[in-house]
Chain A
Amino acid sequence: MTREEALAAITKALTETVGSVDGDVTEDTDLVSDGMLDSLDSMTFLFELENGLGTKLEAIDETYEDFRVGALVDIVVQATA
């Protein structure tokens, strides 16, 4: 999966979690600190992302805290390589 495809998958999971997204989602966006996801939403987002990809993202364990989109793109690209 390319970075663009990974970004599209992340945006889709985000939209399915919160319904609609105000503004653009870029690799510089931080989904939590920019207020798009709270802690409960973040679990639904990860579930939707893994479901959409059809794979478990092993790099995201219970202690994972980095919700910068660029970091998530890295993980998705690596997991789908």
Chain B
Amino acid sequence: MASHTLEVGLRGTRNYVQGSQILARTAEIVARDHPGAVLASAKFTRITLLGVELVLGEGDAPSGGEEIGRGQLLAGDERLPVRWFEVPGPEAPRIEDVPGATSGLAPDGAGGGRADFAIAGSFESYLAAVIECVKALHAHRGERVSDIWFTALVGARLPVAPTYPTAGSLAVDLKIERMVEGRLQTLSVVETTGAGAPPAYQICFSCIIGD
């Protein structure tokens, strides 16, 4: 087991540490020993505005913080389980927001749709574009939608290396919706087009519908 405190922050006006930051910092650490690794899954069970600790392998966080999520990377045939923990203490530092990366949003009227993206080609920039796109599609639903959170990635093979297309498009197909404890949870399939695009995967979000 090894643990690392991740360099994450509260970006812009957000009052939570973005899942994309947590995944990107994790990918950078994993890529040191496994440059060809891919992210297979990630699931966040809660959000935090504090620091985040990554634990590679099984075991609890040395800081004693509460678990906020877990995931799995693959390096060839080797499975690399990871867990993320909140670090008790002060809030994560404020960091500058970044401009949006998607354009031409086209909702399909069924909770999905598509958008174009232009990014730096890094893992983090790709994740940020996907989350921006799916969030925007959720916000275009007919109901009043608020508090849209990225909660999970499933069935993915997302390289930790910066091999992503710098321009392309995202197609989002809403597959499953469930109301759980007053929140709408969604599962969509994301397809990416562009040179070096990763294969399709599932992405989950949680949001509040209505007042």
Chain A interfacial positions (CB closer than 8 Å to B): 38-40, 42-44, 46-47, 50, 61-64
Contact = CB atoms under 8 A, between A and B. Distances in A.
Nearest to A44: B154
Contacts of B179: 62-63
5 closest A-B pairs by CB:
A43-B187, A62-B177, A39-B180, A43-B176, A46-B176
Interface in B5-30: none
B152 A40 contact: yes
Given A40-B43, A43-B204, A62 B178 contact: yes
A47 B176 contact: yes
Given A47-B176, A62-B184, A40 B202 contact: no
Say what secondary structure dominates the interface of chain B. Answer: strand
Interface of B: 43, 45, 151-152, 154-155, 175-181, 184-187, 202, 204
Contact of A43 (B45, B155, B178): B178
A40 B176 contact: no
A4 to B, nearest CB: 26
Contacts of B181: 39
A44 B155 CA distance: 9
B202 A47 contact: yes
A61 B184 CA distance: 12
Given A39-B185, A40-B43, A40-B185, A47 B175 contact: yes
Contacts of B151: 40
B83 to A, nearest CB: 15
B184 A44 contact: no
A62 B176 CA distance: 8
Nearest to B44: A40
Nearest to A62: B177
Contacts of A40: 43, 45, 151-152, 185, 204
Of A39, A43, A62, chain B has the most CB atoms within 10 Å of the CB of A43
23 contacts: A39-B181, A39-B185, A40-B43, A40-B45, A40-B152, A40-B185, A40-B204, A42-B178, A43-B186, A44-B154, A44-B155, A44-B204, A46-B176, A46-B187, A47-B176, A47-B187, A47-B202, A50-B175, A50-B176, A61-B177, A62-B177, A62-B179, A64-B178
A62 B182 CA distance: 11
Contacts of B43: 40
Contacts of B155: 44
B178 A44 contact: no
